[in-house]
Amino acid sequence: MTPQKKDPLLTAARFLLVAFIAVLGFAGAMVALAIPFIVIFQDRALAEIAKEGITAGPEFIGALVLLLAGIAALLALAVYFLVLLRRIVLSVGEGDPFVPANGDRLARMGWVALAGQLASLPIGGIAMWVAEIVQDKDKFSIGDDFGLDFGGFLLVLILFILARVFRHGTRMREELEGTV
């Protein structure tokens, strides 16, 4: 198929996806880089926390490292999800979205979304553990960012169904082209 004319929606999607990938990638790298610094400078970290009036022992550092590692993993999953989505958008711009690779990409996006949903449970538990360690829930609050999300599981289901639709559409097109 021939590439499509400049579509402002696809252009905006490509730009936004690259921007989101860059921002989330940078955030993930910073979170991952914070881990060794917290381990190396744990005495300073505990002193800074004590300045805020929060009493925390060395177990706080272990909990914080686990929390940061989980957040970095979630950010890495988000980047991979967006990279796959960008590849689908690029194939649409090239004029041929019904290729076998896009069905595979959608299925991988479904697995990534499922992994993110499931990973948020232990990460949320670790975040609650950190809040318990600092023993001051007013100064350290946990939002509703972690836990089971109906919308997230609906996204997983939609992605797996779309993957099948793309694969079936690709097969039907190939069969049609073979009969012409």
pLDDT digits (tens, 9 = 90+) for 19-75: 999 999 999 999 999 999 999 999 898 888 888 777 777 788 899 999 999 999 999
How many domains is the chain built from?
1
Calculate the average pLDDT of the chain.
88
pTM for the whole thing?
0.85
**So what's the pLDDT on residue 127?**
86
Q: Is residue 24 part of a domain?
A: yes
Over the stretch 85-117, which tens digit does the pLDDT of each residue have? 999 999 998 888 888 999 999 999 999 999 999
What Å distances lie between residue 171 and 108, 143, 166, CA to CA?
19, 45, 9
pLDDT band, very low/low/confident/very high, at 149 (cuts 50, 70, 90)? confident
Give, in degrees to the nearest 5, the angle at Cα 164 between 160 and 165: 115
Assess whether pLDDT exceeds 80 at residue 5: no
Q: Is residue 3 part of a domain?
A: no
Alpha-carbon distance 36 to 56, whole Å?
A: 19
**So what's the pLDDT on residue 4?**
55
**To which residue do tokens 């881990």 refer?**
35
Q: Is residue 27 part of a domain?
A: yes
Assess whether pLDDT exceeds 60 at residue 118: yes
Check residues 3 and 117 and name the one with the higher pLDDT. Answer: 117
Q: Is residue 1 part of a domain?
A: no
| Coil/strand/helix, residue 168 | helix
Q: Is residue 149 part of a domain?
A: yes
- Could you list the residue range(s) of the whole structural domain that residue 63 is in? 8-179
**So what's the pLDDT on residue 134?**
74
